[in-house]
Amino acid sequence: MIDATALAEKPVLPGTRIQLVPLSPRHAAAFHATFRDPGVRRLTGTHHDWTLAELQDWCARAATRTDRLDLAIEDRETGEYLGELALSGIDKDNASGTFRISLAANATDRGIGSEAIRLLLGHAFDRVGLHRVQLEVFPFNPRARRAYEKCGFEVEGRLREALFWDGEWHDVLVMAALAPTGPPAPQADGDERRP
């Protein structure tokens, strides 16, 4: 059963190289810089041109939200901002939610996204009690799709021509991960990690 109080808690989730920490105003400037990057905007389908003031307000209110969890991804040693992620759209009756992640340009191709996804999924399944977590990804972002698949997400469907970007229509892939029903299966390298 889902624990609705878990979303009001703003945890620190430590990983090997990163940690997920509550999104706060100290992240606003780096968050803003990330969304100024045209590549990040394209990969996330972000049409809105967020101002620094809007993101400062968003980050300040993140701590008081009880219907979602917004976390910053930080380098565990230096505290450097590497991106942010969110668990939202919680359907308590069906124990499901929606996930999204955005990495800073300097945080890609290093396995940081996969580590962050695994940390958040573990929290979503074990602490919040979700059964299903879904996300959307664009077919022109195969790197993200591979990371999601490594973490246990599977493609469930396609929303045809759901994104209009640079004068063209693009499909959106819907992917989901389900809570494990038994002990985690050993990975190919012999390392037992949860998806």
Does the global pTM surpass 0.75?
Answer: yes
pLDDT at 176 (0 to 100): 98
User: Where does the pLDDT of residue 188 fall: very low under 50, low under 70, confident under 90, or very high at 90 and above?
Assistant: very low
Mean pLDDT confidence for 133-141: 96
193 — pLDDT class (breaks 50, 70, 90): very low
Residues 98-124, mean pLDDT to the nearest whole number: 94
Nearby residues of 183 by Cβ (< 8 Å), 6 or more positions away = none
- In sequence order, the β-bridge partners of residue 86 are 70, 100
pLDDT digits (tens, 9 = 90+) for 24-67: 999 999 999 988 888 888 888 888 888 999 999 999 999 999 99
pLDDT value of residue 183: 55
The candidate with the shortest Cα–Cα distance to 71, out of 19, 124, 22, is: 22
The token duo for 77 is 């040693």
